[in-house]
Amino acid sequence: MKRFFFFAIVAVVFFSSCTKDTDSTPSVVSGTKTIAVNFSSASQFTFFRFSDSSVVVNTDSATNKWDFGLRFTTFIVNSNSSGPGAAGAILLDGTFDGVTTAPTTGYAYDTTTTRRAIKDGSWYNYNGATRTFTPKAGKVFVFKTANGTNYAKMELLSADYAPFTGMFPTTILYKFRYTYQANGSTTF
């Protein structure tokens, strides 16, 4: 009988110390991504979603499935005039590693088609002689995502022209690194 109680107590202690991991979603998703963006300012936007690091098809442009869009040098965020989401953006001065917390206030939104959250020219330098532009060093984008509850930070690393047709390229390859906070925390 003593053996039975001993094994019963051992079994209870053993099984009660085992916990099942019910949330396999990582709290932070980081990576480097290159996306192809239309060179023409008259063509469609390329849409990106931080939660799964994916380019979103243009047919989903009127949904909450994307966080930001990019066409030539124009950024849009999924809010107000650009989409049904609650996305916002802040462009901070600093280093990517130095931005460790997303602000809780101060986000800009796409209020009209001419008043964007991210102003054209605020994040790049243009060289008129070579007709090229490069992302400004020391600029970090912080996004509130389309669902309004998650945050991401992003640094543009390069903007390279892809194949040319005649005098102009057809595509710009934007390379960026990002960190997405999947659990709703403001800490990166």
In a domain? residue 166:
yes
Q: Could you give the CA distance from residue 11 to residue 106 in angstroms, rounded to a whole number?
A: 54
33 beta partners: 176
In a domain? residue 10:
no
In a domain? residue 5:
no
**Per-residue pLDDT at 128:** 82
Angle made by CA atoms 47, 35, 46, in degrees to the nearest 5:
25
What's 17's DSSP letter? H
pLDDT > 90: percent of the chain = 72
Q: What is the pLDDT along the chain (188 residues), one digit of tens a residue?
A: 554 444 444 444 444 444 444 455 568 999 999 999 998 888 999 999 999 999 999 999 999 999 999 999 999 999 999 999 999 999 999 999 999 999 999 999 999 989 999 999 999 999 888 878 899 999 999 999 999 999 999 999 999 987 777 777 889 999 999 999 999 999 99
pTM of the model: 0.83
- Two tokens, residue 48: 């990106």
Domain span at residue 67 reads 25-181
In a domain? residue 15:
no
Q: How many domains does the chain have?
A: 1
In a domain? residue 16:
no
Phi, psi (5° rounding) for residue 95?
Answer: -105, 155
**Per-residue pLDDT at 26:** 66
In a domain? residue 111:
yes
**Per-residue pLDDT at 130:** 80
Taking phi over 0 as left and psi of -120 to 50 as alpha, with beta for the rest, 173 belongs to beta
Model pLDDT for residues 101-128, shown as the tens digit of each residue:
999 999 999 999 899 999 999 999 998 8
Query: Beta strand 124-127 with 88-93: parallel, antiparallel or unpaired?
Result: unpaired
Strand order in the sheet with 74-77: 54-56, 46-49, 68-71, 74-77
**Per-residue pLDDT at 24:** 54
- Two tokens, residue 185: 């925390």
Q: Could you give the CA distance from residue 132 to residue 48 in angstroms, rounded to a whole number?
A: 23
Residue type, 121: G
* Nearest one of 63, 65, 38 to 50, comparing CA atoms: 65
Phi, psi (5° rounding) for residue 14?
Answer: -65, -50
